[in-house]
Amino acid sequence: MNDANRHPSAEAPDLATLSWCAGEIRDSLAASEAKLREQFGRGDGAPDDELSALRAARVTLHQAHGALVLVDLPGVPLLSAEAETLLDQVERGQLRLSRELVERIARSFGAIVEYLDEVLLGEPQQPLYLFPYYRDLLEARGAERVHPADLFVVPVAAQLVVADAQARVLDTATLSAARAQFERGL
């Protein structure tokens, strides 16, 4: 098999959509981080009505997550979705907002922005690069399963192979003989 037999790959990212959304994603993640740090600065004893900065952080993260889903880069939305889950758990009181948690989330935001910038510069997509940050977020909520396979994507080009022209053209007699042999094998 050679490259001439391969179907054109659908792996190349849509750089137009990515370049259009990248600035908004970057701004939303920065705003979310700033609000998260503001909430942490208020301390643990903040009453429910004082969670406005946390809610704002979650809303801006949700906007960034939506844009990441739209851009359709494998693996990246998993990272933002996990960060969103952590903020939901903090808001519901299931997880404490600690300095370590804020730093883990901030590092994941930085990794997302860096990854998007690299893709925009023409670097190949390597979602496994995001695993250390994804692992940190999963461990922060005590996930039972933490595995890099969540970020592994099988290249489309490895699956789509166009048959040689010879295989497509069979005369009726050859096709009938092949079918008969196949049916005898059943």
- Note the pLDDT of residue 174: 86
> Is residue 26 a part of any domain in this protein?
yes
The three-class DSSP label of residue 6 is strand
- Give the separation between CA 90 and CA 59, rounded to whole angstroms: 14
> Is residue 83 a part of any domain in this protein?
yes
**Between residues 1 and 119, the one the model is more confident about:** 119
Mean pLDDT of 123-131: 92
Q: Is the pLDDT of residue 170 over 60?
A: yes
Q: Is the pLDDT of residue 3 over 90?
A: no
What tens digit of pLDDT does each residue of 55-90 get? Answer: 999 999 999 999 999 998 989 999 999 999 999 999
- Note the pLDDT of residue 159: 57
End-to-end CA distance of the chain: give it in Å, rounded. Answer: 29
pTM for the structure as a whole: 0.75
Instruction: Name the β-bridge partners of 6.
Output: 161
**Between residues 10 and 116, the one the model is more confident about:** 116
**Between residues 88 and 43, the one the model is more confident about:** 88
Q: Phi and psi at residue 131, in whole multiples of 5°?
A: -60, -45
- Give the separation between CA 59 and CA 31, rounded to whole angstroms: 10
> Is residue 177 a part of any domain in this protein?
no
**Between residues 107 and 13, the one the model is more confident about:** 107
Half-sphere exposure of 71 (CA within 13 A, CB side): 31
- Supply the range of the domain harboring residue 18: 9-153
> Is residue 166 a part of any domain in this protein?
no
CATH of the domain at 47: 1.20.120.160
Give 98's pLDDT tier (boundaries 50, 70, 90).
very high
- Note the pLDDT of residue 166: 57
Give 94's pLDDT tier (boundaries 50, 70, 90).
very high
- Note the pLDDT of residue 24: 95
> Is residue 2 a part of any domain in this protein?
no
Specify the number of domains making up the chain: 1
- Note the pLDDT of residue 6: 38
> Is residue 181 a part of any domain in this protein?
no
Mean pLDDT of 134-146: 94
* Lowest-confidence pick of 56-70, 102-116, 154-168: 154-168
Contacts from 120-123 at CB under 8 Å and sequence distance 24+?
A: 120/15, 120/18, 120/19, 120/22
The three-class DSSP label of residue 32 is helix
Q: Is the pLDDT of residue 10 over 60?
A: no
